Amino acid sequence: MADSVSSPVIVALDYDNAEAALAMAAQLDPAVCRVKVGKELFTIAGPDLVRKLVEAGFDVFLDLKFHDIPNTVAAAVRAAARLGVWMVNVHASGGERMMAAAAEALAPLGEKRPLLIGVTVLTSTAEEELAPVGVTRPLKEQVVALAELAKKNGLDGVVCSAQEAKLLKAACGAEFSLVTPGIRPVGSAAGDQRRIVTPVDALRNGSDYLVIGRPITGAEDPAAALQAIVADIDNMAG
Ligand SMILES: O=C(O)c1cc(=O)[nH]c(=O)n1[C@@H]1O[C@H](COP(=O)(O)O)[C@@H](O)[C@H]1O
């Protein structure tokens, strides 16, 4: 669970330009939440924007979901570490050698290394979408199997839906971090997400970090939307 930051929320800065992302970040407090830079923002704004967010005091989750040959993924996570990010992710379906190579690449950095997280089954994926891509076991079994592989190969945790959090804490232990997108406060539109959970239920299920994009960034008052989510979480705790 979050330590130096008071809430488990990671705000997904899914914007198509650096100015919009920095304007959103300026409304956020790095003592209260973390931020995520994903494929859209990184493609357009690159490492400079990531460095700016790190310099502004944010724990940055660089969400580029690497999936490539072991040598390339190892080099990519090493490059991410040089940016000073707090968390980086790879697709667990890239396999054991790929994940082990990524973990080995970060190991020499010791305490300073970013958390290395494996994506299991995307939260936008529904059960019936697995068979057409050749996955014939039930979705929950696939998530647990990929998480166990990630743990075995030195990763710190996985991205999953909070719907699987209880199962994964039982399978992989309390110390294995669960990063859960697909978070939707009551009344928010699901959009393209399929396995959604409310912030409070996600934490009850065992999520360590809640990745939240559109319910905050798409709100009329994003700072107020975040505050409401944090208040719900605090009420639950207190
Ligand atoms: O790795 C991720 O962050 C991720 C994995 C996943 O399974 N599902 C998922 O939605 N994400 C990311 O989490 C964010 C969710 O955004 P919203 O659906 O707008 O809350 C997006 O930036 C996604 O790219």
Confidence grade of residue 2 (pLDDT, cut at 50, 70, 90): very low
48 as an active site residue: the answer is: no
Among candidate residues 57, 61, 37, the one with its CA nearest the CA of residue 49: 37
Q: Is 85 helix (H, G, I), strand (E, B) or coil?
A: coil
Confidence grade of residue 4 (pLDDT, cut at 50, 70, 90): confident
pLDDT at 193: 98
CA-based angle 153:156:160, to the nearest 5?
A: 100
Q: What is the pLDDT of residues 20-61, one digit of tens each?
A: 999 999 999 999 999 999 999 999 999 999 999 999 999 999
Confidence grade of residue 157 (pLDDT, cut at 50, 70, 90): very high
Q: Write out the DSSP string of 175-194.
A: TSEEEE--B--TT---TT-S
Q: Is the pLDDT of residue 237 over 80?
A: no
Q: How far is CA 37 from CA 9, 146, 204, 221, 236, in A?
A: 14, 24, 26, 20, 28
Whether the CB-CB separation of 106 and 113 falls below 8 Å is answered with yes
Looking at the CA of residue 218, tell me the nearest atom of ligand 1.
19
The 8-class DSSP code of residue 84 comes to: T
Q: In the structure encoding, which two tokens stand for residue 224, read together?
A: 């107020």
68 is in an annotated binding site: yes
pTM: 0.97
Q: Is the pLDDT of residue 65 over 50?
A: yes
**Ligand 1 contacts CB of residue 63 (under 6 A):** yes
Average pLDDT of the chain?
Answer: 97
Q: Is 16 helix (H, G, I), strand (E, B) or coil?
A: coil
- The single residue listed with the structure tokens 């905050």 is 216
- The single residue listed with the structure tokens 């973390």 is 34
User: Residue ranges per domain, the chain?
Assistant: 9-237
ipTM strictly over 0.90?
A: yes
The span from the CA of 201 to the CA of 25, in Å, is 26
User: H/E element holding 64?
Assistant: strand 60-66
Q: Is the pLDDT of residue 3 over 80?
A: no
Exactly one of 29, 68, 201, 232 is catalytic; name it. Answer: 68
Mean per-residue pLDDT, 85-109:
98
For the domain bounded by 9-237, which CATH number is listed? 3.20.20.70
pLDDT at 1: 41
Could you tell me the distance, in angstroms and rounded to a whole number, from the CA of residue 209 to the centre of ligand 1? 12
Among candidate residues 92, 89, 126, the one with its CA nearest the CA of residue 10: 89
pLDDT at 88: 99
Confidence grade of residue 238 (pLDDT, cut at 50, 70, 90): low
pLDDT at 113: 97
User: H/E element holding 37?
Assistant: strand 34-37
